[in-house]
Amino acid sequence: MKRSTRLIHNRAGTGPRRTVNPPLEHASTIILPDAASLYSQNPAYGRMGLSVHQELEAALCTLEKADFTRLTPSGLSACAVAAAALVKAGDRILVSDSIYGPSRRFCERRLKRMGVESERFDPRNLGQIEMLMSEGAAAIFLESPGSLTFEISDTPAIVTLARAHNVKTIMDNTWSAGVFCQPLDLGVDVSVQALTKYVVGHADAFGGAVMTSDPGIVREIRDLTEDWGISIGPDDAYSALRGTRTLETRLSQHQASALQLANWLSGVPGVNQVIHPALPSHPDHALWLRDFSGSSGLFGFLLDASNQSELDAFLGALELFKLGFSWGGFESLIIPCDAQLTRLKSDWTSEKNGHLLRVHAGLEDPDDLIADFQLGFDALSRKKNT
């Protein structure tokens, strides 16, 4: 069966009544069948997961072609678990200049206090990556496309270097939702996702997942999440599981709408550059074509605004595009990104011309979204002419 079918029919169908969806158990205590079970190595306890967690983990294993999935309470905690599971005091972790800011901060602030050094790298500079690996590193943390700036890494080449230098690889796969990219197929050791984004899909719950097929890493992630007491409540797991049923269908509309918007924006005088890996104008378009089977609803563009008040005029005129963090839900969002960029190894500013905006194309009719953008561009040109 194809993946979309398996994501719908992955129910065990157990329990007193056969329901389409799993029963939603709310439980800390699980009543054990007999006294002997009290002394078994892994006595059942709610924190280790209930039926809904097991079904969600199975769905995510299907999606990411992984043997093992561990759920976490947020996307950020998934990133933190993946990084922390692969390092110990005295190690070094290589961190992409373009990964999600809070993941970078976890490595640079939290792991540092645990005796782990972090070193940044430019996700497009294989020579630099090889040099850093040859100096010694336990793990490398990638995100492709990069958060906010959408660089596509040459992941298979980085994996080859990593294996040669005994470095474990982590990739944040939230952008593709596991629908358009399977990092483990590209040789990556650990894939992570913020389920909060596309898997939940309705901007109403948090969740994260860490996926791997490496038995040694499975052990590390199990131990670490047990030691830290990491678990996710059944309601949030349920929201994520429900999202898996419609994930591919939603993603194909997010993809189509984002492409329509990106193509339209490419022809607008108020836009200096559209940054979308599926456009041939993107510098890493060939890598995207090779490693991804599609694109999601998130992309960027450089607005031709020469100061803050022009930027504010554009944003203030939008009605459908809401201003807000996160993405992946049914609603369209836009945020200015300049303040969130911190680059140490790659020079983003030199190629930059205008204000960087990140767009999430929601599930509204794309014609209405284009009309909304037009309101913004009209307000921008009025501002420029005053």
Q: 39 catalytic, yes or no? A: no
| 359 is an interface residue for ligand PLP by CB under 6 A | no
Minimum CB distance to ligand PLP, residue 74 (Å)? 3
Contacts (CB under 6 A) with ligand PLP, residues 70-89 = 74-76, 79
Q: Tell whether the torsion through CA atoms of 363, 275, 296 and 267 is positive or negative.
A: positive
Q: Are strands 139-143 and 168-172 parallel, antiparallel or unpaired?
A: parallel
271 forms beta bridges with 303
Phi, psi angles (nearest 5°) of residue 351: -90, 0
Q: 100 catalytic, yes or no? A: yes
Q: 352 catalytic, yes or no? A: no
Q: Which is nearer to ligand PLP, 64 or 130 (CB)?
A: 64
Residue 202 identity (one-letter amino acid):
H
* Residues 6+ positions from 125 with CB-CB distance below 8 Å: 345, 346
Question: Segment near ligand PLP (CB under 6 A), from 86-94, 191-199, 279-287, 350-358?
Answer: 191-199
The single residue of 11, 47, 105, 384 carrying the catalytic annotation is: 47
Name the residue with the smallest CB distance to ligand PLP. 75
Minimum CB distance to ligand PLP, residue 77 (Å)? 7
Report the first-to-last Cα separation within the chain, whole angstroms: 61
Question: Segment near ligand PLP (CB under 6 A), from 194-202, 282-290, 338-346, 363-371?
Answer: 194-202
Phi, psi angles (nearest 5°) of residue 355: -90, 130
Q: Using CB under 6 A, which of 144, 176, 191, 196 touches ligand PLP?
A: 196
Farthest-apart Cα atoms in the chain, separation? 81
Q: Which is nearer to ligand PLP, 146 or 270 (CB)?
A: 146
**What would the DSSP string read from start to end of 143-188?**
ESSPTTT-PPP-HHHHHHHHHHTT-EEEEE-TTTTTTS--GGGGT-
- Contact map string, positions 311 to 350, toward ligand PLP, x by CB under 6 A: ---------------x------------------------
* Closest to 263 in 3D by CA, of 366, 332, 378: 366
Q: Which is nearer to ligand PLP, 137 or 192 (CB)?
A: 192
Minimum CB distance to ligand PLP, residue 87 (Å)? 19
State both tokens at 209: 């997942």
Question: Segment near ligand PLP (CB under 6 A), from 4-12, 181-189, 190-198, 309-317?
Answer: 190-198
The single residue of 92, 97, 100, 236 carrying the catalytic annotation is: 100
The single residue of 97, 122, 154, 172 carrying the catalytic annotation is: 172
- Contact map string, positions 85 to 124, toward ligand PLP, x by CB under 6 A: ---------------x------------------------
What separation in angstroms does the CA of 39 have from each of 27, 45, 50, 134?
20, 13, 20, 47
Minimum CB distance to ligand PLP, residue 14 (Å)? 30
The single residue of 120, 197, 250, 383 carrying the catalytic annotation is: 197
**Nearest-angstrom CA–CA distance, 13 and 23:** 10
| 150 is an interface residue for ligand PLP by CB under 6 A | no
Q: 197 catalytic, yes or no? A: yes
Strands (E), 201-286: 208-212, 271-275
**Nearest-angstrom CA–CA distance, 226 and 239:** 23
Contact 49, 56 (CB under 8 A): no
| 194 is an interface residue for ligand PLP by CB under 6 A | yes
Q: Using CB under 6 A, which of 68, 206, 238, 288 touches ligand PLP?
A: 206
Catalytic residues: 47, 100, 172, 197
Q: List residues binding ligand PLP (CB under 6 A).
A: 74-76, 79, 100, 143, 147, 172, 174, 194, 196-197, 206, 208, 326
